[in-house]
Amino acid sequence: MKEKIIQSIVYEFESDQQIPEAEKKLLDLAELAVNNSYAPYSEFRVGAAALLSTGEVVTGSNQENASYPIGICAERVTLSAVSATHPGKKIIALAITFRGKKKLSEPVSPCGLCRQTLLEYEQRQESPIKIILRGEGGKVLMIKTVKDLLPLYFDGEAL
């Protein structure tokens, strides 16, 4: 048996005051998108904002329904909106934030389904997507590539 070490690089900032202005603005747009969330069942509202290679920003928020927990996460809403309205445009960065029943200052990372979907978008555009995560204040996490969110990823090469 051989032990294999797999590492991911995550940059941690004590607050959004320590990050570049462009990333802070993207987080602020993601926070505004939280207001468009429809989450009457979980009361966990998520907003995302994608910065495109054109400089345009596309936002999205999570959408639940009565057959909860089936719903659409903010990340996938945003990715779908980018594909539908800006086909072929590269996503440079995706900022994600939330508001829940409990106030959490720690960032929350995307679910497994969103991680896989993000990875496929990154692979399809053949360039990294920076992920920026913030809770309700406090720390900000920055990840330079989706592959660092999903180190043992599954992709189309296996099919």
CA 34: distance to chain centroid?
Answer: 13
14-49: pLDDT as tens digits? 999 999 999 999 999 999 999 999 999 999 999 999
Q: Can you give the residue ranges of every domain in the chain?
A: 10-151
Catalytic residue among 23, 31, 64, 75: 75
Identify which has the larger pLDDT, 102 or 35: 35
Any catalytic annotation for residue 120?
no
pLDDT-based confidence at residue 103 (cuts at 50, 70, 90): confident
CB 131 within 8 A of CB 122: no
Q: Which CATH class is domain 10-151?
A: alpha beta
> What average pLDDT does this structure show over 123-134?
98
Task: Say which residue the tokens 């990715």 belong to.
Answer: 79
HSE, side-chain direction, 13 A CA sphere, residue 14:
0
